[in-house]
Amino acid sequence: MVPMTLMIIFVLLYLAFRRFGEALLIIASVPFALVGGIWFLYWMGFHLSVATGTGFIALAGVAAEFGVVMLMYLRHAIEAEPSLENAETFSADKLDEALYRGAVLRVRPKAMTVAVIIAGLLPILWGTGAGSEVMSRIAAPMIGGMITAPLLSLFIIPAAYKLMWLYRHRRPAQRA
């Protein structure tokens, strides 16, 4: 079920961006969020089940959303620097500055989003009422993934996007 969800997410990303590389970059960030969910399940002593699978599906969607928003901000920051499009005025330092600006703009909103998601899921995780055992297993992967997904999207996605951008915009002499 989770692989099918990842495939659907990839198709939607490709349809949105119309670039295979960018869709692949975002979908490649999802497993890092899933690692946080698996780590948290282990720490809580939960086993894989249908309920935890449901939590992983929700986590995959949120992790993909983090990647999409980060990629949009990075693209916008690069487009705001016109000297990056011209081969004569291109500078790796200007590219680094643009990527830094794009990533820094996402720190506060991402931290607030993560805090709200975790604050909303903690009562579900610690609940003791009817159905709380199942609901806590749905919430656990999301809480763990909310620890790793933002870190990945703040550090790894900008670095990987820089490599993609440099490869796509290399000079004709470098292509041979």
Whether residue 175 lies inside any domain: the answer is no
- DSSP tally for the chain: helices H, then strands E: 7, 0
Structure tokens that stand for 111 in this block: 């931290």
Q: What is the mean pLDDT of residues 15-44?
A: 90
Q: What is the mean pLDDT of residues 130-153?
A: 90
Which pLDDT tens digit goes with each residue over 53-88? 999 999 988 998 888 889 989 989 888 888 777 767
CA distances from 148 to 12, 59, 110, 166, 168 (A): 23, 11, 12, 27, 29
Whether residue 176 lies inside any domain: the answer is no
Let me know the angle formed at the C-alpha of 38 by 33 and 41, rounded to the nearest 5 degrees: 130
Whether residue 161 lies inside any domain: the answer is yes
Give residue 18's pLDDT band: very low, low, confident or very high (50, 70, 90).
confident
Domain span including residue 20: 2-170
pLDDT at 50: 92
Which pLDDT tens digit goes with each residue over 91-141? 788 888 989 988 888 888 888 999 999 999 999 899 888 888 889 999 999
Measured CA to CA, the distance from residue 6 to residue 3 in angstroms comes to: 5
Give residue 36's pLDDT band: very low, low, confident or very high (50, 70, 90).
very high
Residue 58: CATH number of its domain: 1.20.1640.10
Which amino acid is present at 152? L
Length of the chain: 176
Give residue 1's pLDDT band: very low, low, confident or very high (50, 70, 90).
low
Q: State the number of CA atoms in the 13 A half-sphere of 94 facing the CB.
A: 14
Q: Tell me how many domains the chain contains.
A: 1
Q: Over 90: is that where the pLDDT of 29 sits?
A: no
Whether residue 65 lies inside any domain: the answer is yes
What share of the chain in percent tops pLDDT 90?
Answer: 31
pTM: 0.83
Measured CA to CA, the distance from residue 3 to residue 12 in angstroms comes to: 14
Which pLDDT tens digit goes with each residue over 37-50? 999 999 999 999 99
